[in-house]
Amino acid sequence: MAELTAKANTAPAEKINYKSDVKVTWCPGCGDFGVLSAVYKAFEMKGWNPKDLVVVSGIGCSSRIPYFINSYGFHGIHGRALPISVGLKVSNPKLKVVVLGGDGDGFSIGAGHFPHAVRRNPNLTYIIMDNSIYGLTKGQSSPTSAFEFVTKATPYGNIEDPINPMAFALVYGASFVAKGFSGKANDLAQLFVQAFDHPGFSFVNVLSPCPTFNKVDTFRYYAERLATVPEDHDTSDRLKALKIAYQTDKHTMGVYYRDFRPTLEDRLAGVREKVHMDTQEEIEHLLSRFS
Ligand SMILES: Cc1ncc(C[n+]2csc(CCOP(=O)(O)OP(=O)(O)O)c2C)c(N)n1
Ligand code: SF4
Ligand SMILES: [Mg+2]
């Protein structure tokens, strides 16, 4: 059941504390701690007032994150974080909306919402905490699990190919697409700030290992394959971004792509303007019949 958590406090303006009093209940060593730390840092850099900020999630270990943040929060239903967030932006465009959740939440049950959020281009940030597993339900394979990955649900190895989250976002037309790693919280915080500053739908896929349901050390696995987007990469070139997304030998961190086009809020303001004008014209036309 959807749950609205209003935890915004009235902390003094000079130093905003984004940490809530709720105990973080993830397993020791969970990659999600790195994401949470980067989120705190990025919010500190932005200095947003918690009363103007809503953190939205679905269901999963990662989706518990709104409880740990001093802001408004919406711990929603599995796979429905994006529609909830778009609704928030439509009803109050001034809100800062940051959406977080797991790879299962976003790319399995929630995958159908992704293209439609993207093509509306709402001014919000969507962060996937990608551990390539269903953590909360005790370690089944997810849409980003590797082929032949062994889990309790796939004891003979996963028979499905994984989706490529970066290509997924690029092909659907997201206006900002970036990738990060929870083991590099400072870099991640910088990436989040760039995503927050982007006017439109910004997507960040974060590699966030689940040590509980991975037999190998995924932190080390990723760290050994980390690369950064080349400095001369043209972020306005979607095809070049796709080439980086399809590199199989490394995990490249940074901003792959961005473009600037009207946001959902701009588009709705345009419609409101037209409605207002039409109404004015209609009123004048009606009045002219009585003059
Ligand atoms: C409609 C619905 N279907 C299925 C579930 C069961 N369920 C809860 S969390 C989850 C997957 C969690 O995986 P992910 O989104 O990757 O988050 P993680 O726990 O890995 O952070 C599933 C299938 C549910 N709660 N609601
Ligand atoms: S099960 Fe995995 S994803 Fe969930 S809290 Fe534990 S380490 Fe993190
Ligand atoms: Mg997951």
Q: Report the CATH number that the domain containing residue 18 is assigned in CATH.
A: 3.40.50.970
pLDDT digits (tens, 9 = 90+) for 168-180: 999 999 999 999 9
Q: Are residues 227 and 95 in the same domain?
A: yes
Which residue owns the Cα nearest ligand 2 atom 6? 27
Q: Are residues 276 and 196 in the same domain?
A: no
pLDDT digits (tens, 9 = 90+) for 204-260: 999 999 999 988 899 999 999 999 999 999 999 999 999 999 998 999 999 999 999
- What's the domain range around 20? 3-260
Q: Is the pLDDT of residue 7 over 90?
A: no
pTM, to two decimals? 0.93
Choosing from 25, 27, 64, 217 the residue with most ligand 2 atoms within 8 A of its CB, the one to mutate for a pocket test is 27
pLDDT digits (tens, 9 = 90+) for 103-138: 999 999 999 999 999 999 999 999 999 999 999 999
Helix 165-172 to helix 238-245 angle (10° resolution) is 160
pLDDT band at 15 (very low <50, low <70, confident <90, very high): confident
Q: Are residues 40 and 130 in the same domain?
A: yes
- The CA distance from 215 to 150, in Å, is 9
Q: Are residues 279 and 226 in the same domain?
A: no
Identify which of 241, 248, 174 has the alpha carbon closest to the alpha carbon of residue 204: 174
Cβ-proximal residues to 280 (8 Å cutoff; 6+ apart), any chain: none
Which residue owns the Cα nearest ligand 2 atom 2? 210
Decide whether any atom of ligand 2 lies within 6 Å of the 212 Cβ: yes
Q: Mapping DSSP to helix (H, G, I), strand (E, B) and coil, where does residue 287 land?
A: helix
Cβ density class 25-35: b for 16+ within 10 Å, e for less: ebeeebbbbbb
Nearest ligand for residue 58 CA: 1
Q: Are 82 and 157 in contact (CB under 8 A)?
A: no
Decide whether any atom of ligand 1 lies within 6 Å of the 142 Cβ: yes
Q: Are residues 139 and 270 in the same domain?
A: no
- The CA distance from 22 to 166, in Å, is 32
Q: Which amino acid is at 60?
A: G
pLDDT band at 289 (very low <50, low <70, confident <90, very high): confident
Q: Are residues 276 and 166 in the same domain?
A: no
Q: Mapping DSSP to helix (H, G, I), strand (E, B) and coil, where does residue 101 land?
A: strand
Decide whether any atom of ligand 1 lies within 6 Å of the 59 Cβ: yes
Q: Are residues 194 and 208 in the same domain?
A: yes
- How many structural domains are present in the chain? 2
Q: What is the mean pLDDT of residues 45-53?
A: 97
